[in-house]
Amino acid sequence: MKGGRMLAVLALALSLAGCGNMTDTEKLLRAPQGTGETGAIQQALNAYLGESVQLKFPTTGEYLSPFVFGDWNGDGNQDAAVLFTLQSTGQNVSLALLEQDDQAQWQVVDWEEGLASEVNSVTVASLKGTADSQILVGYGSPQTSLYLAVYAQESGELVNLLQQTYSQLLLADLSGSGAQDLILVLPENEEGKVDLQVLTNREGSFHVSQQLTVGQGTFAGCAGLTPGVDRQGTPYLVVDGYLGNSGNSLGSIILMYDSEQGRLVYYQAEEMEELPGGTQRYSSILTSRDLKGDQVVCIPQQVAWDIDPELEHRAAALEWMDFTNPEDPLVEFGVWDTEYNFFLPLPVSLKETACLRPSEMGWMVCDRETEEAYLYVRVAYPSESRGDYTRIAYIGSQQVQVKIGATYPGLDIYNVSEGTVIL
């Protein structure tokens, strides 16, 4: 067994400050046992180690529990993993793998000490394109440095496939092979360049299949990575970056997968002089996204529209563009409520004929000539609900509520509700 092994150099380099005395929260986490399945897992781990573990919770990401479930060995059965610390081994987080025996009793397979005293994120991935899954643990915190470890179960042991510093990560099948590639944004350097590293699994180990710098001379940091697939089935990656030093202005670059070269290449959008300059928007909220869940990545563009001056600090018009489809790049048009940060879609034809005006507790979409209202939008608490308004989304404890006015083709409760996105 390999519990507690780690290179001394890593232990020194990756230790984090400010973790001296055990906090009250940590004391509470150490003693209680979970209930049900998690309780049985914790009891099995305590019995195996001979002491009570302190559970460690990830601070961000999809998994916010110290218990992670998946099929680590590819046998079709659900296995478990646990993040914890031990008083006897120090402050660094450890990871244990467990599986169930023939009597459905949890048994520890192996465990290993990690790279730091905090867990930033945990992700389960299919990096080999096979039935078994791998566990990606990001150690550290965004205020210090992040260190990624990729764990797998091989021949009944916990194996660390990769250790790498990073600032952001993405899992996506960029080649269409069926296996997930690992895309890392490397720690920013003094020049603010965005360095990407693409790692691909080959025969059980990771290889850097590509490393490139994007937005050199333009980007001052990475705001996000979003994978997509164009209408011809070609994978691509949209990189959002900060423009300038303010941190509020964003631009985008598209990297398309070239199957002949086996790598990502820059994509030059037609009728777009320059990416990222041609995609500049002046809010860090406006990141690219798969707006409709169809793997098409839309880049938001703020556009001019007839908006009442009273609303100029409350709302703006957006177009969401798919630049990989030059024949018809406009995916969606609508209103961005800048106070509550949600996007509400409208029929594209309203861009030329309608306007935005103030209304009770919100705003309304009106005919530009007649001022006839087509749609009323407001944000209110449930206690302020009115029978003529319909709730379409939640923003914290408040609701986005709408009311249909005069009939307009394509503008109805269903389309508005389905297309509204909290940014």
DSSP state of 277: G
How much is the average pLDDT of 385-397? 93
**Are both 339 and 399 inside the same structural domain?**
yes
Tell me which amino acid residue 267 is: Y
Q: Is the pLDDT of residue 23 over 50?
A: no
- Whether residues 97 and 226 share a domain: the answer is no
Q: Does residue 385 sit within a domain?
A: yes
Dist. CA 39–CA 304, nearest whole Å? 57
> What is the arithmetic mean of pLDDT over 303-313?
95
Convert the pLDDT of each residue in 338-358 to its tens digit.
999 999 999 999 999 999 999
Res 235 pLDDT > 90 = yes
Are residues 160 and 119 located together in one domain of the fold?
yes
Supply the DSSP string of 307-374, one letter for each residue.
B-GGGTTTEEEEEEE-TT-TTS-EEEEEEEETTTTEEEEE-TTHHHHEEEEEETTEEEEEETTT--EE
Query: Considering the domain boundaries, does residue 174 fall inside one?
Result: yes
Range of the domain at 50: 1-166
Average pLDDT, the chain: 87
Tell whether the model's pLDDT for residue 19 goes beyond 80: no
Q: 114 in a domain, yes or no?
A: yes
Percent of the chain exceeding pLDDT 70 equals 87
Q: What is the mean pLDDT of residues 194-215?
A: 86
If asked whether residues 154 and 7 sit together in one domain, one would say yes
Q: Which of 122, 151, 166 is the last residue of a domain?
A: 166
Measure the CA–CA gap between 70 and 74, rounded to whole angstroms: 9
Residue 15 has pLDDT above 70, yes or no: no
pLDDT in tens, 59-109: 998 889 999 999 999 999 999 999 999 988 888 999 999 999 999 999 999
Domain count, the chain: 3
235 vs 20: CA distance, rounded Å: 47
**Residue 75, in any domain of the structure:** yes
Last residue of a domain, one of 129, 145, 166: 166
Greater model confidence, 34 or 415: 415
Residue in 136, 131, 184 with CA at minimum distance from that of residue 160? 136
More confident residue, 222 or 20: 222
Give the model's pLDDT for residue 374. 98
**Domain identity same for 133 and 26:** yes
Asked whether residue 51 falls in the same domain as residue 185, the answer is no
Q: 420 falls in which pLDDT band (50, 70, 90)?
A: very high
Which pLDDT score, from 0 to 100, does residue 356 have? 97
| Whether the Cβ atoms of residue 250 and residue 239 lie closer than 8 Å to each other | no
Q: In the structure, what pLDDT confidence band is assigned to residue 28 with cuts at 50, 70 and 90?
A: very low
Inside any domain, residue 308: no
- Out of 123, 150, 166, pick the residue that ends a domain: 166
- How far apart (Å, rounded) are the C-alpha atoms in residues 214 and 54? 41
- Same domain, yes or no, for 174 and 155? no
Based on the fold, state whether residues 144 and 228 are members of the same structural domain: no
Which pLDDT score is estimated for 4? 42
153 and 17 fall within a common domain: yes
pTM value is: 0.84
As a whole number of angstroms, the distance between CA 345 and CA 343 comes to: 7
pLDDT at 12: 32
User: Quick one: pLDDT band at residue 129, thresholds 50, 70, 90?
Assistant: confident
Residue 7 predicted with pLDDT over 80: no
Same domain as 385, residue 324: yes
292's CB contacts (< 8 A; 6+ apart) are 298, 331, 332, 419
Weakest mean pLDDT among 8-12, 278-282, 419-423:
8-12
31 and 161 in a single domain? The answer is: yes
pLDDT band with cut points at 50, 70 and 90 for residue 14:
very low
130 lies in the same domain as 182: no
Return d(Cα 209, Cα 228) in angstroms, integer. Answer: 19
